Amino acid sequence: MRVADLTDSRAATDALLKLLKRGRWTPRAVAHFLWSSGDRSVRQAARRPQALVQITALHGVLAGLARKRRPGPRWVAASWALSVLHLGLLEERDRISAADALTLARGNLPATALGSTRWVGVAAIALDVADGRLARHQHTASPFGDYADSFADAAFWTWLTLRHEPSRAVRAAAITAWALPIATVTAIGIPRGTMPERPRPTLLRPAAAMQAIVAMRRLLRH
């Protein structure tokens, strides 16, 4: 079976990474990896028209809310593209869940009017808690939701920290807390030719603590 036809996202990613490792990370191997990954992403998205419509409709609403704002429509467009290219992570499902929609909305907060308010960090934390509970309650957890959650966190909190946090020390601590777990699991997984695991909860605790600190500092700062 071709990699593009694999419905199991982990199996597909492992197969692609093994090819990359076998090619010894040469430019040709990297190019083949990127081409094969893109081909699979497009094919998997085409097999999920309902999810594609949902993603497009959601981002259409977000684009409307983002008009004449910065980062605005470009931020929403990037979110749409990344979401569509990772629809294969839905695996056996053919549509996104309500929890997934909340996660994507959270990742796009910087593009909305709420992004310029001091409440935006608190809103992001509230949405993060809500989408997790909703996914567990509705039994709709999926690799797509995990990916969207991780990316929404990385995009939103990096933006908030770099845009609104005045303290260099806090910025450095926050970026380190978010980047270190991802860098660690990636450094372990990719050289082995296997899909990196999600960071364990213990590795994510410093990141969660920094999110709360950055959010409260934004809330209390006039």
Reported as a single tens digit per residue, the pLDDT across 92-130 is 899 999 999 999 999 999 999 999 899 999 999 999 999
Q: What is the pTM of this model?
A: 0.87
Asked whether residue 70 is assigned to any structural domain, the reply reads: yes
On whether residue 112 sits in a domain, the answer given is yes
Tokens 């929404």 — which residue? 152
Q: Residue 198's pLDDT is what?
A: 63
Say which residue, 192 or 116, is predicted with more confidence. Answer: 116
Range of the domain at 71: 48-220
Sign of CA dihedral 84, 86, 91, 96: negative
Q: Is residue 32 part of a domain?
A: no
Which residues, 6 or more positions from 54, have their beta carbon under 8 angstroms from its beta carbon? 95, 96, 101
Q: How many folded domains does the chain comprise?
A: 1
Q: Does residue 116 sit within a domain?
A: yes
Q: What is the DSSP string of 34-55?
A: HHHHHHHHHHHHHT-HHHHHHH
